[in-house]
Structure 1
Amino acid sequence: MRKWKLLLFIPALLLVAAANLRPVCTVRVDGVPVEGSWSPGSIERAGRLALGMAEEIARGGTALPDIEVSRSLSIFPASGDENELAEAILCSCEGVQRAWALSVDGCFLGWAEDISALSETMETVIGMQIPVSAIRAGFDADISIEPAAIPSGWQTDVDTLSRQLHELARVFYITPDGAVRCA
């Protein structure tokens, strides 16, 4: 009797597992893996969305990047955000590049292609104006750095951004005795 119950239990267990399996996909855009998993339909929608945005940004003909999709079955639902996938595809489209929009107190200064170079430039602007004894330093303005997708070649030179930042935002620092000074 136990043997028959076990023989019936195994197919029932497999049937329940099969009923809960979902197709999920992982994606690589131009060979770079994108974090998350998506349903096949959401990948298609993200590709259409990215292509539409790329045509608008590039102001002309563009093409989708190489998108590699690996399919599998999972008991967990797809966990990726469709908009994040569309953004990853968009920034790899022909004629479009990822950039960082820099603004000071709401005044747009330009787009930096390399955020690490922009950060180093901002640190240099501060470092050149404060004494060695300063405990802490920063800008007295509201500086905003936001990701953006722009037409290729529209980025602003980092030195130009540095000069504009230096003109619009004052540097403050705190001395060892706790006084706040402007440079």
Structure 2
Amino acid sequence: MTPDDHLLDIGCGSLRLGHKAVPYLKPGHYWGTDASLALMRHGRLHELPDPSALSEDHLVQDAAFAFPGIPETITLAIAFGVFTHLPHADLQTALTNLRRFPTLRATLFTVFLSDAPTATRQPDGVVTHPDRPPYHVPQAQVAATIRAAGFTPTRLPTLLPRGQVLWSAT
């Protein structure tokens, strides 16, 4: 990522990434979405070194991954720790809807992986499930979902907290 990129932070919450990205990116290049507008507004006021650096209209309430009002200039998207807590169909919806951004180079997101049809203990001890949060999905299903949305899947080797696996959809 460079300061010239236009970042879409999906499920940005209280700006865990935003408090670093907003000062790094050129003004107006950060957009955040989350199911809770109140949480994003709280993060803007309490997490950003300078809340005026992020226009409140760049925080969009969006629980459906429709990305309403987000400009076509988005070049990168990230969803860290979002799809570990939602059914896999939401990942398919998000990736499909991200196709509308013509200059999008990559979307990074995390999931828990397992082929097990029952609860699975991840390497750090967290227990994931196929049918309730925190969710796990088979690696082949993640790759197929990315391809079905028109992207190329890459499982990245980065080690993440709690055993989450980082993927890139390019």
TM bucket (normalised to shorter chain) is under 0.3
Of Structure 1 and Structure 2, the greater helix share is in 1
TM-score by length of 2: 0.21
TM-score by length of 1: 0.20
Of Structure 1 and Structure 2, the greater strand share is in 1
